Structure 1
Amino acid sequence: MNDKAEQPIPYTFSKEERLCSKRLISQLFSKGSSFNLYPLRFVYYTPEEPLSGSTQLVISVSKRNFKRAVDRNRLKRQVREAYRLNKHLFTPHQEQAPRLLAIIYIGKEKKSFDTIQKKLISGLERCLIK
């Protein structure tokens, strides 16, 4: 096999890509920029100190809008899956991609996966432009 063959896109969402640090999450929400693409809200920030190579992500769904955990978990799963399938948009622009990213579902009703995916793609592209 040729070593210089093009590597396939890794459609994974690993532990290193999850944003778990309370310090980084508070930094993201205090210093980050945000915009809304209904039903999603994007908050993004690139700190001065270097982090791991890829973007770290946190996903949130409001308990106020979705009382049942089943509904919240389903929406989080759909957003996570849409991100997993489309995070390759950041790959060619790795230096411009935000290092910390929060995606918050702000809609009041459940949307289809196709709607969520379209809005997420638009949001990821907009994160790169800013």
Structure 2
Amino acid sequence: MGLSKYSFSKKEKLTGKKKIEGLFKKGSSFYLGDFQVRHLPSGDAGPHQILISVPKRTFKRAVDRNLLKRRIREAYRLNKQLIQIEGENSLFIAFIYLSKEILTFDNIQAQLIKCLERLGTINADRHE
């Protein structure tokens, strides 16, 4: 894999207008807990690339949005191995936070683990 198991490098961030538009136009999605998860096979063998969105409409203050994004990013960083399959094509993934309140890190992590497990089964099914 080349990256440390618990790192979150620049390569893992989903950037680029075309990639993001493609994810939202062609990607599949599911809802689990307080998250909507959109995913799309990226077609290359690099690390999974993620995007984290916390709506401005729900959380007016940037401090609150940034806090939630940090918590989600950290929960992803610690548990991303749940969707890693050696030598597989990676996914573009968007985590969209839907809750109306600021959840604790433990709560966010528990929900994100369920999302990652579901993504892992989707990704494994794609390879069979």
TM-score normalised according to structure 2 size? 0.86
Structure 2: stretches of 5+ with no match in the other structure: 123-128
Which of the numbers 19, 28, 33 marks the counterpart of 1:33? Answer: 28
Q: Distance in 1 between matches of 2:68 and 2:78?
A: 16
Aligned-residue Cα RMSD (Å) equals 2.0
Query: How many residues are treated as equivalent by the alignment?
Result: 121
**Counterpart residue number, 2:46:** 53
CA offsets per residue over residues 29-72 of structure 1, 9 Å max, x none? 0011111112111000004xx33511000001000000000000
Q: Distance in 2 between matches of 1:126 and 1:87?
A: 12
Structure 1: stretches of 5+ with no match in the other structure: 1-6
Q: Distance in 2 between matches of 1:101 and 1:19?
A: 8
CA contact (8 A) 1:44 1:98 kept: no
Change (3 A) 1:94 1:86: farther
SS of alignment partner, residue 86 of structure 1: helix
Work out the percentage of aligned pairs sharing the same amino acid.
Answer: 48
CA offsets per residue over residues 64-119 of structure 1, 9 Å max, x none? 00000000000000000000000111224652x75100001111111111111011
Larger Rg: 1
Structure 1 residue 69 corresponds to structure 2 residue 92? no
TM-score normalised according to structure 1 size? 0.85
